[in-house]
Amino acid sequence: MSTVGLPRNPLKVSLAAPADAGLAAAWSSPQPDPIATLATSLPGQTQIIAIYGKGGIGKSFTLANLSYMLAQQGRKVLLLGCDPKSDTTTLLFGGRACPTIIETSARKKAAGEQVEIGDVCFKRDGVFAMELGGPEVGRGCGGRGIIHGFEILERLGFHDWDFDYVLLDFLGDVVCGGFGLPIARDLCQKVVVVGANDLQSLYVANNVCSAVEYFRRLGGNVGVAGMVINKDDGTGEAQRFADAVGIPVLATIPANDEIRRKSASYQIVGRPGDTWAPLFAELANNLALATPLHPTPMGGEALLGLFSGQGAGQDIVMEPATPADMRGQVPAPKPSLEVIYDES
């Protein structure tokens, strides 16, 4: 098997006390940390890569085609959906929903049965695919669902699996601890952000870069491999963002009607021999060679400045409000209740 990868870095974050206090409640058990077990137990040349981006930006589209191309290049790939929508693998399987690990586990437990790998992991043309799943809306914490899903993976023997690539699809515009696990717990070596030429997707990409740098300062080892620009319309904001934070653009996927139509009908466009195959082959090669980098996140005004050419209110003056503005009249002075002692 061809293994193009990075040696795994040892965990530097304390297992008993997570670096981020927001994760402490989820890791209150004194038992060995299953996430740390996953992070340190796969073969040393396995590349574990977490992909983040705003909801609807095209992470699942990008990952389905990337994983398919990697498999056609002879790599052994596990595509793992970590989004409660459970749609990461839908394109790969032609529109069919993959049974989720969390839902299957609950059903099997109620029946007094154990989850088997064949219940939750399915294959297509060399790509192995699974969905963690999550709670129904309003019925639980999505981040806690991610943690529970990885605990089940550990019981299924994740530490014995042999892959060249494990690709994790994470929702980027949720900031709770569970969705930050790959970064906070060194579960992956690299992070890739998917964005477009719009403020919201670049805001999410910037937040992910900030999270990477935060945990780096606490002893983490995860770096940003680069950015995939999706639905590129040529206006250039995403490229300027990548240049500003110091990460490379791994691939640029154009805003193309053929791509949109094929994706909407659950067709792989990264199939060898197709029009768009060279694009995804280039992405696969760039991803394999990308070095985990320390990004320099942008400030809020600088991020807005990427769009200054579109007249984003650059000449507006922010005028401070006064108490009179809030009440509609000049407030009458109130006597103070403060006790003042005579110095004598």
- Cα three-residue angle 224-81-86, rounded to 5 degrees: 135
Closest CA to 267 of 65, 33, 23, 38: 65
For residues 201 and 207, is the Cβ–Cβ distance under 8 A? no
Closest CA to 230 of 76, 71, 62: 62
- Cα three-residue angle 68-44-149, rounded to 5 degrees: 65
> Which residues make Cβ contacts (< 8 Å) with residue 330, sequence separation at least 6?
324
For residues 52 and 204, is the Cβ–Cβ distance under 8 A? yes
HSE of 78, CA atoms in CB hemisphere, 13 A: 22
Helix (H) / strand (E) containing 225: strand 223-232
* Torsion 178-179-184-185 (CA) sign: positive
C-alpha to C-alpha distance for 232 and 239, rounded to whole angstroms: 10
Closest CA to 303 of 214, 231, 255, 237: 237
C-alpha to C-alpha distance for 273 and 311, rounded to whole angstroms: 43
Q: Is 23 exposed, middle or buried (0-12, 13-18, 19+ CB in 10 A)?
A: buried
Strand order in the sheet with 190-195: 122-124, 127-131, 77-81, 165-171, 47-53, 190-195, 223-232, 249-254
Q: Active-site residue numbers?
A: 54, 59, 85, 173
